[in-house]
Structure 1
């Protein structure tokens, strides 16, 4: 009976350690999700800016071509 109690205590301690590790991993995962969302928003903003710049350059190029014709 004493051996079973020792095993139960060891299992309980392991369970506590595993639960703490799970909490840390969940917290880290949440931080990574927020970081990746921020990066995605920054990339989207940069892409939209570049698309706008390309559009302006293309329009300017067309104006030069038309005016030279």
Structure 2
């Protein structure tokens, strides 16, 4: 299990890097409703790092 005490807000670039996918893949996941909702701050999407890590762990458990 990955643990994170850092609850930073991540950009789409940072989310893509954390998931090791492209920004286009993140956009496709969002469009298909398969990724967690983002916060909109000044018109820019941001995700909590802890939520992204939790989503990733859940997704990995389902693919085992």
Q: TM-score, structure 1 length as denominator?
A: 0.27
Greater C-alpha radius of gyration: 1
Larger RCO, structures 1/2 (Cα 8 Å, 6+ apart): 2
Higher-strand-fraction structure: 2
Q: TM-score, structure 2 length as denominator?
A: 0.29
